[in-house]
Chain A
Amino acid sequence: MSEARPLVEASGLGKGYGAGPTRVEVLDGLDLEVASGEMLAVVGPSGVGKSTLLHLIGLLDRPERGRLLLEGRDTGVLDGTARAGLRNRMIGFVFQHHHLLEELDALDNVALPLRISGEGSRRARDRAAELLEAVGLAGRTAHFPDQLSGGEQQRVSVARALAMEPRLLLADEPTGNLDRANSERLFDLVSQLHLKAGLTSIIVTHNEEMARRCDRIFRLAPRADLSEDV
């Protein structure tokens, strides 16, 4: 066991949607720690709150109960701007539906987090070109998302997630929309980059085989009946 403080510490996290009789409690009293450098798989049936958990850890949403610490810092006290800054510098996201901006080509999509951080256009684009090359898309920089295949779109999305050299990579069913061969290739890519960049990764997946390749599996069950496999 490492003595270092976990990168992610969630305690008693709770989140629900709706109000009154239609209210649904998605997460209730969830505790989770993710060590620095760890690759964690989050699995569970649909609707159990996997994406919600990822959104809470990624500061895309606020928990209704509980505390979330990133690198020991309490995120509950941060305002919108501070949370945005942390998302930009510390966290990389890969979504199931790639979520590339339709109006930007592959290069500009990857360069966007760098532009948001205040990087100049030229340097951002140079860095984006390197990243696209690293994910095997050097010849596709000027293509728009609708001109790329599903696998290519997801690789652009991975390049974008890594643009700011984040410490935490959050992937929400990154292979959910891909065929088996493309899923394998993408997971290999993420695994390589995880090791190479020294990332801490949390990957939500339905794919048991992929989950087993991670360092640890965190199983989310309905009504917060949680269990862990190592």
Chain B
Amino acid sequence: MSLGAELHVARRYLVGIRRRTHVATVTLISLAGLGIGVFALVVVLAMLEGFQSGIRAEIVARAAHAELRPAAGRRLPEPDRLASVLQAELPDVEAVQVVRGACLVSSAMDAVPAPVVGRSDTAGVVVDQLLARRLGVGAGDRIEVVSARRRLTPMGPLPVRISAEISRVAAPRPGSESGTVILPLGRAQQLLWGEPVVEAIELRDPADPWRLAQRMRVALGSDASEVEIAGLDQLHRGLLTALALERVMIFLAVGLMLVVAALNLLCNVAMVAAEKRKDLAVMAGLGFAPRSLRRLFLVLGLAIGVVGSALGAVAGTVVAVVLDRTGWLRLPQGVFMVPSVPFEVDPASVALVMVVALALAALGAWLPARMVARREPAEGLRYE
């Protein structure tokens, strides 16, 4: 059965709304409600995406993209061979051998426990800003790093310690709350192990950071089963999970606006159904089956849904893009990583919002439509 007659009447109801101000008003209110809901969701999700992609970009810029760890214990077997296999298979990837431990780091002013990392790509001693501030030191100052490892001396067992001049103060790693000392690999091995142990190989591939772990598995072949390979999502699981959770919760919270808009649409379509009670009875009299009356109201609801959500999505996208480019929403310096609120419109999010809005609009129209279809036509004609 064709939809011709239902579409024809629905179009006349919507296009001919100038002739009936009441229907026009309730239609516009429904449209505005749904449009504002979609607009708010698109803008909020774009803002969230802006912040989150900033955080993700920060992780990609500063942290390792993948890590090769021993499958068991702390010593990575044959680190040089594994590193050379990786370098041969993935020539664009930077591979750095590392050891990690915790030491007591002291300056003339203070002594604090801090993580120590030995890296094969570091020549000097690097202290991050957090630790430098706590110790009151800068480039050129000397620090002493005391290991938990002890060595037997004529005076008995004494902790292994080194004294070094700070060559650089670096920005902290994303998510790092305690300061870190970075040493050349050899010195750190001496301090922490007393032998050339490598605990992990960190890899970076700025061209394709999120799939590096997968490519490493392919590159290592049978060696991959003897080591553990952690990708970006595993290395930053906590932070990335929190970001994803935040996204879902915001979608649900702001999505409630859409539910309210759909309820408003339901009320308005029900009002139209009440007002058009006589017309519907006449249409039924002329041969509209209950199914066709249901379709007529679904078409009305979906038309409001399509126009409302399209207007909301376009307006939301435009506002998000304009706010992102102009940077009108400034943020306090020193608190946030970015100077103004960033917006990034994700087409998939916009599509999802529109689908949800349309589904809710269809549901909002379905209930009154069902009510209309259940009535005998004479009910609408009886009280003229």
Contact = CB atoms under 8 A, between A and B. Distances in A.
Interface of A: 51-52, 55, 58, 60-62, 80-81, 84-85, 87-89, 93, 95-97, 99, 101-104, 108, 112-113, 115-118, 120-121, 144, 160, 164
A93 B286 contact: yes
Given A87-B285, A88-B286, A116-B286, A55 B12 contact: no
Nearest to B278: A99
A103 B19 contact: yes
B381 A80 contact: no
A60 B284 contact: yes
A84 B288 CA distance: 6
A93 B286 CA distance: 8
Contact of B1 (A97, A103, A118): A118
B289 A85 contact: yes
A95 B286 contact: no
A121 B8 contact: yes
Contacts of A104: 9, 12, 16
A49 to B, nearest CB: 12
Contacts of B281: 60
A55 B381 contact: yes
Contacts of A115: 4-5, 8
Interface string B1-18: 110110011001100100
Contacts of A87: 284-287
Residue among A85, A95, A97, A101 facing the most chain B CB atoms (10 A cut-off): A101
Contact of B19 (A85, A93, A112, A144): A144
A144 to B, nearest CB: 7
B290 A88 contact: no
23 contacts: A51-B381, A58-B285, A60-B284, A80-B291, A80-B373, A84-B287, A84-B288, A84-B292, A85-B289, A87-B284, A97-B384, A101-B282, A102-B279, A103-B9, A103-B12, A103-B13, A103-B20, A112-B5, A112-B9, A112-B283, A115-B5, A116-B283, A116-B286
Interface residues of B, number: 33
B2 A80 contact: no
A81 B291 contact: yes
A93 B5 contact: no
Nearest to A160: B286
A55 B378 contact: yes
B223 interface: no
B9 A101 contact: yes
B308 interface: no
B20 A102 contact: yes
Given A101-B283, A116-B288, A118-B4, 8 more contacts: A51-B381, A51-B382, A93-B285, A103-B9, A104-B12, A108-B8, A112-B5, A116-B286
Contacts of B379: 61
B376 interface: yes
Contacts of B382: 51
Given A103-B12, A103-B19, A104-B12, A95 B282 contact: yes
Nearest to B281: A60
B377 interface: yes
Contact of A116 (B12, B287, B378): B287
Contact of B290 (A60, A62, A81): A81
B286 A112 contact: yes
B376 A62 contact: yes
Nearest to A118: B2
B378 A99 contact: no
B4 A113 contact: no
B1 A116 contact: no
A60 B287 contact: no
A122 to B, nearest CB: 11
Contact of A96 (B2, B19, B384): B384
A81 B288 CA distance: 8
Interface string B263-287: 0000000000000001101111111
Nearest to B286: A113
A213 B155 CA distance: 136
Contacts of B4: 115, 118, 120-121
